[in-house]
Structure 1
């Protein structure tokens, strides 16, 4: 497995984790718990944005990966 594949796999996994946190935030009955899940989902947004930029850099440096 290439580094590019691992980075893409990490991106997909983190997107799933973010979706799960958003779901838990909707289901949580305690306001503090809801805020915690939302805050962590927002933090994951930041990580996802950086990871997407890194993937774009990798695709620019190695054109054969573009479109995977």
Structure 2
């Protein structure tokens, strides 16, 4: 398994966590809990975005290492 495929797996897992945070925020009756879950969802989005950028770099570099 390549690093790029590991990063793709990580991104997929983070997207699942992000969906859970969103669901928890919607289901929560406590305003502070809603805020925390929403903030976690937004932070996860930032991490996913950064990993997707890094993945693009890895996918461009990877063919160099297969030779």
What TM-score range do you get, normalising by the shorter chain?
A: 0.7 to 0.9
> Which structure 2 residues correspond to residues 1-68 of structure 1 after superposition, within 5 A?
1-63=1-63
**Which aligned segments of 4 or more residues in structure 1 are displaced greater than 6 angstroms?**
none
Instruction: Tell me which protein shows more helix as a share of its residues.
Output: 2
Larger relative contact order (CA 8 Å, sep ≥ 6): 2
Give the root-mean-square deviation of aligned CA atoms.
1.0
Query: Which structure has the greater CA radius of gyration?
Result: 2
Structure 1 CA distance for aligned equivalents of residues 61 and 3 of structure 2: 13
| Unpaired segments ≥5 residues, structure 1 | 64-68
Q: Which consecutive residues of structure 2, in runs of 5 or more, have no partner in the other structure? A: none
- TM-score, length basis structure 2: 0.88
State how many pairs are aligned.
63
Rounded to whole Å, the distance in 1 between the matches of 2:8 and 2:58 is 11
